[in-house]
Amino acid sequence: MKNNKIALITAVLAVAAVLSTYAFQTGSSKFGVVDIGRLSDQSKLGKRKKAEFDARQQKWIGMLQFMRTNRFFTPENAKKFRELSLLDKPTADQTKQLEDLKTSIQKITDEFQQLIKVAQPTDDQSKRRQDLLRMSDETGQMMNDLAAEYQDTMRGLANDFKDEVTNKARAAVQKYAKKEGFTVVFEASVAVYGANDVTDEAVKVMDADNS
């Protein structure tokens, strides 16, 4: 927290120094401020990337939730289930394959639920129950691996999307500022006060350039 305060104070002092320099050099300088975060969030590109991120995240969450409820996957089935569950635009055949796979796994879940209710199981029933318990444990390990992959994937995706949108937002600000004759445009986070907020206009430029 202390370091953040020092960084903010340093940034504000830097802004003040720049303003003083321009004010000394010319009386016709034009300054503005922009909220890069709001610009990114309100832009069409930012909204598209957020929707894409949310959709990808929901696919992962849905896949992991199903496996948590139905813990009876072979490694081959788990690989196929992951592949089909995370497709961006599955075909009708791929959707059917996924639903058929889920149905087959759910049947095993139902079978296990019936087996554990048997008070005096036969030898075959006992063996089947033990096999399914072992499969459940193995599925749990596969879930742990997938959960770790999920965290890494979504973190990387979030960073990639943020970098892409932020870079496009800065380009839009530069384009608008140059067109309108601004000498300097500061980020709102370091400007103590700014009457000329260009955020809304920069959104329009960004949307036009990234439609």
**DSSP for 83-96?**
HHHT-SS--HHHHH
At residue 35, what are phi and psi to the nearest 5 degrees?
A: -95, 95
Lowest mean pLDDT among 16-20, 103-107, 148-152: 16-20
Token code pair at residue 183: 């000498």
Query: CA 41, CA 169: separation in Å to the nearest integer?
Result: 10
pLDDT given at position 10:
37
Token code pair at residue 12: 């504000």
Query: CA 115, CA 29: separation in Å to the nearest integer?
Result: 81
Rounded average pLDDT over 30-51 = 95
Tell me how many domains the chain contains: 1
Lowest mean pLDDT among 2-6, 115-119, 184-188, 203-207: 2-6
Token code pair at residue 115: 């087996």
pLDDT exceeds cutoff 80 at 128: yes
Give 146-194 pLDDT, tens digit per residue.
999 999 999 999 999 999 999 999 999 999 999 999 999 999 887 666 6
Lowest mean pLDDT among 28-42, 73-87, 137-151, 162-176: 28-42
Rounded average pLDDT over 121-144 = 97
Share of the chain above pLDDT 90, in %: 80
Token pair 């809304």: residue? 200
Three-state SS for 96-124 is: HHHHHHHHHHHHHHHHHHHHCCCCCCCHH
DSSP 73: -
Q: pLDDT confidence of 11, banded at 50, 70, 90?
A: very low
Can you name the residues that pair with 32 across neighbouring β-strands? 185
pLDDT given at position 195:
73
pLDDT given at position 190:
77
Query: CA 158, CA 28: separation in Å to the nearest integer?
Result: 41
Q: Which of 192, 137, 162, 185 is nearest to 22 (CA)?
A: 185
Query: CA 147, CA 60: separation in Å to the nearest integer?
Result: 9
Domain hosting 175: range is 2-209
